[in-house]
Structure 1
Amino acid sequence: MNTTPLPPQALPPVRTVSAAQVRQALAGARRVVFLDDDPTGTQTVRDLPVLTRWSVEDIRWALRQETAGFFVLTNTRSLPPRDAAKRNREVVEACLQAAEPDGTRLVFASRGDSTLRGHFPLETDVIGQVVTARTGAVDVVVLAPAYTDAGRVTINGVHWLRTGGNLLPVADSEFARDATFGYRSSRLADWVAEKSAGRIPAGQVTEVTLDVIRDGTTEDLHERLTRAGAGRVVALDAAEDDDLRAAVLAILAAEDAGRNFVYRIGPSFVRARVGQEAHPPLEDPILKALVPRGGHGLVVVGSHVALTSRQLAKLAERRRHVSVQLDVPTLLDSDRAENHLRDAVATAAAALADDLVVLSTSRHLVTGDNETSSLDIARTVSAALTETAGRVVAARRPAFVVAKGGITSSDVATESLGIDRAWVRGSLLPGIVSLWEPVSGPAVGLPYVVFAGNVGDEDSLADVIDRLEAP
């Protein structure tokens, strides 16, 4: 595999495509439903609805909002394949049922991880099956995992992670060694073949590279999309948001002409598809209106990636806080788990009166003998963490809650806080770390911060806490 960093001069010049051009093309376009396999897909956008339930009435509430799309939090990255498939099917069927009375046209995006973890191609397969049965065959699956804000880019068909001034092929990163969703391939076409166990050969994946995106026109890209064979995967290069917006214009034109797509995408495509610019972080006056003064916050940490551990260490260096740690081996012992949780709740609730509290699991990652047992352990630990967080919030309401880790963010939102409808209000750092405003359930008015495990630098967690406390 080529691990040589690509020099900037090797890339063609960027073709400028504005968000305003996309917004103009969105007039009359299909509303996009982002099925988010954890909540971190929201961190690139502002002012979009989020649902954590998918009843027809909840979906109709989202459809009544005047937005180009909305999120449905499925949390399928934490589920085994059969349950993930069932949940995707339920969500898509409910969305189509909710949209039918008003004749609202929908397109579905399976929002996965920008480091290529998650249930692919299972999720796009299921979405495609439901859409085909209800509205017509899916012509193309668009694959666009880029997350430009966090340095995850696709160049010449290869997906890269930016580390400092270099680009690392994603298969050489720690994320490729994930116990549940590991992989060996950095070229997206090869990754598709690998994850589909050869059902979709690499030769049947159409690569749309930067030279095509930047040197061509919307009509050229439209032709590439419409020329792809039925059911093919089209993998999009993207190093800048302009690249994705150029692709979105072509996709919208193809959809307007009657083509049906399913998207498998990272966070940056979300922003491009709804016609938003890369917004700066939320301004202090907005935070002042959202975050109550005089209280202290609760940080819930489930992520085990190395970056999260470094961020916790830096937080400890920069400011005082009370650390309450759940011991994973104890959580897995049914005879000792409840007493352990009860002690943690009492300690954390008492400490919130005077200090920031960090509730975490022990940093040593415990895995099983195979993918299924690793998922079972992860679910047990996550359930204990979210149960503890929910009890803490019930005992003493914090000024804000920060959830660190994708699956953790989902479980804290739905299980600990009971959030079912919310608005994404924006990010706390440039292009990363989103703040939600719950608008129903017991957490109404409690600022909720979704912080992926694998974004930012060592200071980012401390920076977020500073931003929340400053107003």
Structure 2
Amino acid sequence: MPASAEPAGTLPSALLLSGLPPLRRTDSRELARAVSARARLVVLDDDPTGTQAVADVPVVTTCDLDDVRWALRQPSQAVFIQTNTRSLGEGDAAERNRRIVDVLAQACAAERVDAVLASRGDSTLRGHYPLETDVLSEALNRHGRPVRGVVLVPAYLDAGRVTVHSVHYLRTGQGLLPVGRSQFAEDATFGYHSSDLRDWVEEKTRGRIKAADVVTVTLTDIRVGGPERVTTLLRQVRPHRPAVVDAAEEDDLRTFTLGLLAAEREGLRLIYRVGPSFVRTRSGQAARPPLASGQPRAIGTSRGARGLIAVGSHVQLTTAQLSRLRLLDDLVEVELRTAAILDPSTRDQHIADVAATAGAALRDADVVISTTRTLAAGDDPDSSLAIARRISAALTETVAATVRLRRPGFVVAKGGITSSDIATHALGISRAIARGTLLPGIVSLWEPVSGPFAGVPYIVFAGNVGDETSLADVVTLMRSA
């Protein structure tokens, strides 16, 4: 039986939050002091969009030992290691997580730092859960760092993803919608039915963990009981008893994090499966305003050069954002056609033709390379993922060929898998600093510090955030910076 009866449709935010205890205020400076005394947070990010809630944080896109050691030497409480596992099948995703833990163990020993791991997943619950946390637990146990269990905090408050009474919601124009009733739950590879996180855990573990066994940390626990209540509840976590955490405001996460840190001081070692907001609080950071006009291009080495926008995400919001972007002046769009990509006899020539057109257009205009908006899916999750990888690979190759023809002044990558592949394979970024956001709490700006495109502002734009004008707003901002 479901752990709770989920709402059948959207709810007004005020109605959902009515009757809850008042918010418990937590000083961000108190949290920063508590975090600074604890282990470094290392975020294994299944696509680069997890950086969009933090600022001045190092990012590496490889599991190379020297790159990871560089990241650990930076003056930040958090480090991001990109895994791009959301684009991989289960076997490859598992192996990549194991490899990263092995390299991280060497890096931490060499740099004499301790680390706690966060497996950053999608705030709309897509991704390799429980595979990744299972693999990370096994790998840490093998390295003599036994893990008590997993804490799930998928909230992404800046983007309107909240958890109340253990049910996860996303904000829409009509109100808060249980995430299991959204388009994201219909994902061809990572689909699901449950919005209540207890039921979702049972669903995704295929009954290995029952909903009734999941530990819940509710808003009442957080706001009334405070950090002490959180610590008490986390002591109940076991391998077969993960904890799911409510969050509706930033202070909820701060209070929870203080209780979590107290539990860790007692020796409790946990893995976090989280959305972007928890990464910010566990890093000891407070929400920052977007980067001001002039800052984004100030890091650039190609001032005055035109921008390249690559659009790979196929969610409805991205398509709507692309439609609004097309209304801007001085913009050229070139379509990378799915049918031509998937046909071996036309693939390579089509990529060359699109790149040649885009490279020539970059001389005088900002250029959009977009994939066909009709989503191509297979007969099952594995075949759908394989098709998505082929399309992403073609887009990446096209961008790589385009930037070889003409160096852009900035690059925007729309979509999680898209942004990972382009950063690593098209631009050769292995090290970067996530400097902040271009819009409030969303759309991360990276400053690449390695590779042939070091200094070219790189904008990581998730497919499922913002409103219809957000993509056009970002391009307009970059033009004026």
- TM-score normalised to the size of structure 2? 0.96
Between the aligned partners of 2:356 and 2:36, the Cα distance in structure 1 is: 53
1:315-394 to structure 2, matched below 5 A, reads 315-394=325-404
Between the aligned partners of 2:123 and 2:359, the Cα distance in structure 1 is: 35
Compute the displacement of 1:252 (Å): 1.1
| Kept in 2: contact 1:138–1:231 (CA 8 A) | no
1:55-94 to structure 2, matched below 5 A, reads 55-94=64-103
| Kept in 2: contact 1:434–1:449 (CA 8 A) | yes
1:58-457 to structure 2, matched below 5 A, reads 58-164=67-173, 166-291=175-300, 292-457=302-467
Compute the displacement of 1:68 (Å): 0.6
| Kept in 2: contact 1:139–1:231 (CA 8 A) | no
| Kept in 2: contact 1:148–1:241 (CA 8 A) | yes
Distance 1:411 1:251, change over 3 A: same
Between the aligned partners of 1:358 and 1:369, the Cα distance in structure 2 is: 30
Q: Note the aligned Cα RMSD (angstroms).
A: 1.2
Compute the displacement of 1:140 (Å): 2.3
Between the aligned partners of 1:34 and 1:449, the Cα distance in structure 2 is: 19
AA aligned opposite 1:408:
T
Compute the displacement of 1:11 (Å): 2.5
Between the aligned partners of 2:19 and 2:469, the Cα distance in structure 1 is: 32
Between the aligned partners of 1:364 and 1:101, the Cα distance in structure 2 is: 49
- Specify every segment of 5 or more residues in structure 2 that has no aligned partner in the other structure, as ranges: 1-5
Residue of structure 1 in register with 2:62 after alignment: 53
Q: What do the CA deviations read for 1:279-310 (whole angstroms, capped 9, x no partner)?
A: 10001232241244321100001000000111
| Kept in 2: contact 1:141–1:231 (CA 8 A) | no
Distance 1:122 1:312, change over 3 A: same
Compute the displacement of 1:83 (Å): 0.3
Q: Does 1:32 align with 2:41?
A: yes
AA aligned opposite 1:131:
L
Between the aligned partners of 2:99 and 2:237, the Cα distance in structure 1 is: 29
AA aligned opposite 2:359:
A
Compute the displacement of 1:165 (Å): 5.4
Compute the displacement of 1:342 (Å): 1.0
Structure 1 stretch 133-142 or stretch 440-449: which is displaced more? 133-142
| Kept in 2: contact 1:17–1:242 (CA 8 A) | yes
Q: What do the CA deviations read for 1:306-333 (whole angstroms, capped 9, x no partner)?
A: 0011101111124341111011011000
Aligned pairs, number:
471
AA aligned opposite 1:436:
W
Residue of structure 2 in register with 1:19 after alignment: 28
| Kept in 1: contact 2:148–2:239 (CA 8 A) | yes
3-state SS of paired residue (2:242):
strand
Between the aligned partners of 1:102 and 1:306, the Cα distance in structure 2 is: 44
Residue of structure 1 in register with 2:3 after alignment: none
Between the aligned partners of 1:433 and 1:422, the Cα distance in structure 2 is: 15
Q: What do the CA deviations read for 1:16-50 (whole angstroms, capped 9, x no partner)?
A: 11321111102330111100000000001100000
3-state SS of paired residue (1:373):
helix
Between the aligned partners of 1:13 and 1:137, the Cα distance in structure 2 is: 37
Between the aligned partners of 2:476 and 2:111, the Cα distance in structure 1 is: 45
- Specify every segment of 5 or more residues in structure 1 that has no aligned partner in the other structure, as ranges: none
Between the aligned partners of 1:52 and 1:102, the Cα distance in structure 2 is: 19
Structure 1 stretch 383-392 or stretch 20-29: which is displaced more? 20-29
Between the aligned partners of 1:18 and 1:71, the Cα distance in structure 2 is: 25
Structure 1 stretch 317-326 or stretch 397-406: which is displaced more? 317-326
Between the aligned partners of 1:179 and 1:299, the Cα distance in structure 2 is: 26
Structure 1 stretch 150-159 or stretch 225-234: which is displaced more? 225-234
AA aligned opposite 2:151:
V
3-state SS of paired residue (1:146):
coil
Between the aligned partners of 1:147 and 1:354, the Cα distance in structure 2 is: 38
Between the aligned partners of 2:110 and 2:48, the Cα distance in structure 1 is: 29
Structure 1 stretch 135-144 or stretch 324-333: which is displaced more? 135-144
Compute the displacement of 1:163 (Å): 1.1
3-state SS of paired residue (1:282):
coil
3-state SS of paired residue (1:216):
helix
Between the aligned partners of 1:101 and 1:149, the Cα distance in structure 2 is: 36
| Kept in 2: contact 1:438–1:444 (CA 8 A) | yes
Structure 1 stretch 32-41 or stretch 279-288: which is displaced more? 279-288
Compute the displacement of 1:230 (Å): 4.7
| Kept in 1: contact 2:297–2:457 (CA 8 A) | no
Q: What do the CA deviations read for 1:357-413 (whole angstroms, capped 9, x no partner)?
A: 000111010101111111111111110000000010111001000000000000000
Residue of structure 2 in register with 1:461 after alignment: 471
AA aligned opposite 1:124:
T
- Report % sequence identity: 54
